[in-house]
A and B are shown apart, each in its own frame.
Chain A
Amino acid sequence: MLTLEALCKTYPNGTEALQRVTLDLQAGEIVALVGGSGCGKTTLLRLVSGLEHPSMGTVGVDGEKISAPHPAVGIIFQEPRLLPWLSVAENIGFGLDHLPKGERAARVDEALLKVGLAGYGPRWPRELSGGQAQRVAIVRALVTRPKVLLMDEPFSALDALTRASLQDHLLALWEAHRPTLLLVTHDVEEAAALADRAVVMQPRPGRVFADIAVPLQRPRDRLSADFVEVKRVILAALDGSLSAPAADVKTQGAPSGWW
């Protein structure tokens, strides 16, 4: 449904950020992109969002090529990036300008309710805590009902408790319309908690190192032995990605049924 075809990105200063990355995401699939810093995972997300253009290769959503921000693709950044001059409700409704006022308000109210911020509509973003602001940012991207949702380390600035609770919130929101979710993270636990598939990337130049299926039912018990094992496998791949020589060893789709 979301297809990345031999994506390459070389910046004008010569840095090769991505080298022939090919990925295929099913509709409604949640894929976590895991990797150390500088492995190009954020670049990859920006290419998919259409905010940047690949040097080579293509991104497609349902066969349609993405070359600029597309209505079917929503993005959530590392920081909430709420517009400080708009109220919380206006921020959530930012992408709903095309809808009649009544429907816009209904969708915004529904969204506020879903993230536990009912009654926060008239407040200013500066009155929100970090976790609340990021929840608003998430529903701002979700109210337009994108088919693909991209997230760039959306919870990395939050404390562990808030992060876990937001991950649960995110899954609950995802349930409603089940968009395809591509999530960049450096947090192995986050990948294990959310993803159907963890794609581990390798730096310099950025490329896919391992593609690990996560065969856990939802809701996931973070203390179960299976969950811990998934974390271990992802972590092992991550370690491997950082220590492996720059050779093209792709263990693509390797351990499915590894336990």
Chain B
Amino acid sequence: MYDIRVHVGEGTGLAEASAKNRPAGGHLAIGLILPVGAAVLYELAFRSGLVEARLMPPPSRIFQTLWKLAVNGELVTHIVATMYRVAAGFGLGSAAGILLGALTGSSATARQALDPTLQALRAIPSLAWVPLFILWLGIFETSKIALIAGGCFFPVYLGVMGAIENLDRKIVEVGRAFRLSRTALARRILLPAVLPDTIVALRSASGLGFMFVVAAELMGASEGLGYLLVDGQQLGKPDQILASILCFAILGKICDWLIVLVARPFLTWQDSFART
């Protein structure tokens, strides 16, 4: 016969695994090691005479230039001009992208009617529009903002359309089983489901916004960080060029971080966001 022994052991209390949350400051410090370390090394090399710094000024000189521009108020003027263009272009472009992406994503008819044209337009390098925009809209703000908006439009359009297309049919069915109206379905299922992809699209659009603002300002502007670049080139001031580039890096990073920050409360449910 079978001999079955039953062991009734004492319940082993499973200790709740405590999530180790590194303070946010720790991540920041790690991220700063590389750029700050490189700057310090170059500065030391310059001070000890190892490098000739006519075309590649040391960090200290870049910061001096930056400080000078900040003190006489020019820097603020340039930053405000650039940020205004990026904000306006990004705002218009991504709003249009969300609208059209939602339309083509949710309606097959709209997709058949609009998507081929939009994809063809996407295939045109955005900079190819510049001469036409200048003819149509003049050389001032409008043509610049139009260029940036066009650049920001496509990643958002594609991202939103793709997110809606790839929506899990099974989750939508849950909404139907609970008899949600069309608007309730959009608000309670569609919106939260496409939000993560939309945020990613907006982040890449903000990056493109900065790319196109430089293009726009290189082609003719009397103020803006892009103007500082051209001015630095023409007057042989590499420190001014690098100061402007530094501003772009910081502003771009801040914008990206702002998008993440605003989106984070809505995305805590995602694994990836909970871990970072």
Contacts and interface: CB of A to CB of B under 8 A. Distances in A.
Interface residues of A, number: 19
Contact of A69 (B170, B178, B188, B266): B178
A126 B271 CA distance: 8
Contacts of B174: 77, 81, 83, 94
A124 B271 CA distance: 10
B269 A75 contact: no
A134 to B, nearest CB: 14
B186 interface: no
A84 B269 contact: yes
B170 A81 contact: yes
B171 A81 contact: yes
Given A124-B269, A126-B269, A126-B271, A83 B192 contact: yes
A51 interface: yes
Main secondary structure of the interface of B (DSSP, over half): helix
A84 B270 CA distance: 8
Nearest to B179: A69
Interface residues of B, number: 18
A95 interface: yes
A58 interface: no
Interface in A57-78: 68-71, 74-75, 77
Contacts of B177: 49, 51, 69, 74-75
A79 interface: yes
B269 A85 contact: yes
Interface string B14-39: 00000000000000000000000000
Contacts of A79: 170
Nearest to A141: B177
Contacts of B193: 85
B68 interface: no
A77 B271 CA distance: 24
B268 to A, nearest CB: 8
A68 B181 CA distance: 12
A218 B79 CA distance: 76
B191 to A, nearest CB: 9
Contact of A51 (B173, B189, B269): B173
A86 B174 CA distance: 13
Contacts of B189: 83
Find the residue from A74, A85, A124, A126 having the highest chain B CB count within 10 A: A85
Nearest to A76: B177
Interface in B177-213: 177-179, 188-189, 192-193, 195
B172 to A, nearest CB: 10
B178 A95 contact: yes
Nearest to B270: A84
A153 B230 CA distance: 68
Contacts of A74: 177
B176 interface: yes
Given A79-B170, A84-B269, A71 B192 contact: no
The 10 closest A-B pairs by CB, nearest first: A85-B192, A85-B269, A95-B178, A69-B179, A81-B174, A75-B177, A124-B269, A69-B177, A84-B269, A81-B170
Interface of A: 49, 51, 68-71, 74-75, 77, 79, 81, 83-86, 94-95, 124, 126
11 contacts: A77-B174, A83-B174, A83-B189, A85-B266, A94-B174, A94-B178, A95-B178, A124-B268, A124-B269, A126-B269, A126-B271
Given A124-B268, A126-B269, 9 more contacts: A51-B173, A51-B177, A69-B177, A69-B179, A77-B174, A83-B171, A83-B189, A84-B269, A94-B174
